[in-house]
Amino acid sequence: DIQTVESFRLATQVDPGLRRSFAVLTYPDLINPGAEKDIIKLVNGQGKVNLSKGIIMVKCRSQREIEDGTNLETALRNEDAFFNEMYPELKSNQKGTRTLISKL
């Protein structure tokens, strides 16, 4: 539940209306099976929290990928493939490290 996350609590202290804040959801590959629909609703602003700047999901490199020396370009391609397979309904501005970089 995003409302119990410490970073969310801090964001509401400095941006009470959440008009200047956006969230980054990490490790979508670790989401419990069956919870994907709730995550999609959250990212689409249909959950308990609605951030005017939105929510971006990113898939970080796994520890194995880091240890195996997976370079960043390959990791970005792997991230794209993951989202295309697991979350095809997400819009391009809701997913991926490239989106996060451009938003920052």
Question: Please, are residues 57 and 28 in contact by the beta-carbon 8 Å criterion?
Answer: yes
Could you give the count of Cα atoms lying within 13 Å of 65 in the half-sphere of its Cβ? Answer: 14
Give the separation between CA 33 and CA 13, rounded to whole angstroms.
33
State the pLDDT confidence band at 91, using cuts at 50, 70 and 90.
Answer: very high
pTM to 2 decimal places: 0.81
Amino acid present at 47: G
At residue 66, what are phi and psi to the nearest 5 degrees?
-65, -50
CB within 8 A of 26, min separation 6: which ones? 57, 58, 59, 60
Quick: pLDDT tens for 31-68.
888 888 888 998 998 877 778 888 999 999 989 999 99
